[in-house]
Amino acid sequence: MQRDRLHLYAKLGAVNDVVVEKQASVSSGWEAQLALHYARHGQRTVLERREHRGPLVVQKPLYPEGEAVCQTIVVHPPAGIAGGDRLALDIRVGERAHAQATTPGAAKWYRSSGAAASQKLMLSVASDAVLEWLPQESIFFDGALATLETEIALAGNAVLLAWDIACLGRRLSGERWNRGRLRQRLTLRRDGVRQWSERAIVDGGSELLRSGVGLNGRTVFGTFLASAPEIPDDLLAACRVIGCDEGEAAVTRLPGVLVARYLGDSPEVARRCFSALWALARDALAHRSAVPPRIWST
């Protein structure tokens, strides 16, 4: 990997934060909310509480690794996100619990005629707990107007393993990202202290898509985060050995956070790269060998 080459998105946050046209005036669309609370009962992590409103649900909790790790699959039954849809997901993991959440397939963000769609993700992890948030990629159709916000709150020596993969346009059908807007905001705090924060605004057809300090003509980009009180030197070194067979990737370390980027044209390559990083980080920080969710191979 090319060390610390995090200029891949260096200027994404430099664009003015303009409200999407008609966003405030359009109220149509699905409103979906899902709250998941995990707790440790003896040697078992259980989904102690789940509440949902609208089309956002989870399937039956799974235990492919035994009782300690509770795996859940978050499902959005409409299968796509249209203009005006508003999704909110709140995941809380109690002390000593270990939860893993993923999705059954790619999230599809459809073209909008004026209303923006939004997703708000709140992740809260108590001390001595582990959360793995491993969704499959998000595909933003040409003309989509999307706002994604993620707030992560960690306590004590909590461990977080998470990734996000974005695809601009539908590569296999030859569709390019010529119109629309993608807005992303992510903040990670430990014990109330901010450790990582970034904002990205990507406009369809903009110079940023072609610029060498932006996406450099690529259509797929992603971020992998591993957060713990300390990131060991040997973990950082091992992660920097991981390569990708298409596109480029980079890994760096900040206090308590390991950050990896992918920039290319293949969500499959991005997933393979991030899965390899996840396996290393899981072993080093959560002290468990990687067991890929079965849903990824179906």
Backbone torsion region of residue 282, taken as left when φ is above 0, otherwise alpha when ψ lies between -120 and 50, otherwise beta: alpha
For the stretch 244-283, pLDDT in tens is 989 999 999 999 999 999 999 999 999 999 999 999 999 9
Range of the domain at 133: 6-297
* Nearest-angstrom CA–CA distance, 230 and 206: 39
The rounded radius of gyration (Å) of the Cα atoms in the chain is 18
- State the pTM of this model: 0.90
Does residue 211 belong to any structural domain of this protein? yes
Tokens of 24: 């405030």
> Which stretches of 29-144 are assigned E, i.e. beta strand?
31-41, 44-53, 57-58, 69-75, 80-81, 86-93, 98-102, 107-109, 117-125, 130-134, 138-140
Judged against a pLDDT cut of 70, whether residue 8 lies above it is answered with: no
Between residues 59 and 237, the one the model is more confident about: 237
Question: Does a structural domain hold residue 1?
Answer: no
Q: Is residue 100 part of a domain?
A: yes
Q: How many CB atoms lie within 10 A of CB 64?
A: 11
Establish if 182 belongs to a structural domain: yes
Q: How far apart are CA 130 and CA 236, in angstroms?
A: 19
Looking at the structure of the chain, the number of domains it has is 1
25 within some domain: yes
24 pLDDT band, cuts 50/70/90, is: very low
In a domain, 31, yes or no: yes
Q: How many CA atoms lie within 13 A of 168 on its CB side?
A: 28
The Cα 70–Cα 47 span in angstroms is 7
Helix (H, G, I), strand (E, B) or coil at 150: strand
pLDDT per residue as tens digits for the range 136-156 = 999 999 999 999 999 999 999
Q: What would the mean pLDDT of 171-196 be, rounded to a whole number?
A: 94
**187-204 pLDDT, tens digit each:** 999 999 999 999 999 999
**15, pLDDT greater than 80:** no
